[in-house]
Amino acid sequence: MILSAKLRTVWSDPLYRFLLKAVFLFLAWYFIYELWLHPHSGLDMIVIRNLEDLSAVLLELLGFDLIPDSHVENIRTIGIDGTSGVWIGDPCNGLTLFSLFSGFVIAYPGSVKKKLWFIPLGLVLIHLLNVLRITALALILHYSQDPAVLEFNHTYTFTIIVYGFVLYLWYVWSTKLSDASMKKPA
């Protein structure tokens, strides 16, 4: 009885409700991804192939010749001819960011109608930013030829940019589009 009352109290607090939903969604994604999607589906490779294709188009539009076709088995490399190219690993394909972004928006108050357009828009924008990141890394490798410069930008510069963008999308959701943003202070 006391536990039930405490649970109702916790659930009635919007902050705790958000945190509980977010933790549940994160754990659900983690287990679904680690136990089923990652080992048994080609989702990672589908996303990586799309990142390779879009980055290749962008590099070719910029006038660069690309390293020979990388669509052999699991090569996962895109780059400018004369370089070793940029290898795209599963952790860098953006799927985790997709789930973090979506989980936040789902857990945060807001109309389902707005969520149904904001989540896909956010996923597309995050994916396109990842294409720009990969293209920029290929350009950095081409112009610097220094693996340390590539590693620094991969580890720090683009991590800050990409996560900063996801935080910005969350900010837009929580301050402009969610039900909580519509409430005016008394």
Rounded Cα distance, 126 and 166, in Å: 7
Say how many CA atoms lie within 13 Å of 43 toward its Cβ.
14
Asked whether residue 119 carries a pLDDT value surpassing 80, the answer given is: yes
Report pLDDT for 30: 87
pLDDT in tens, 126-182: 999 999 999 999 999 999 988 899 999 999 999 999 999 999 999 999 999 997 765
Report pLDDT for 99: 93
pTM of the shown model: 0.85
Report pLDDT for 145: 83
Asked whether residue 116 carries a pLDDT value surpassing 90, the answer given is: yes
Report pLDDT for 186: 47
Burial class of residue 123 (count of CB atoms within 10 Å of its CB; 0-12, 13-18, 19+): middle
In the chain, beta strands by DSSP E: 77-78, 86-87
Report pLDDT for 1: 59
Helices and strands in the chain, H and E counts: 9, 2
pLDDT in tens, 87-113: 999 889 999 999 999 999 999 999 999
Note the maximum CA span of the chain: 70
Asked whether residue 9 carries a pLDDT value surpassing 90, the answer given is: no
Query: In this structure, how many other beta carbons lie within 10 angstroms of the beta carbon of residue 172?
Result: 14
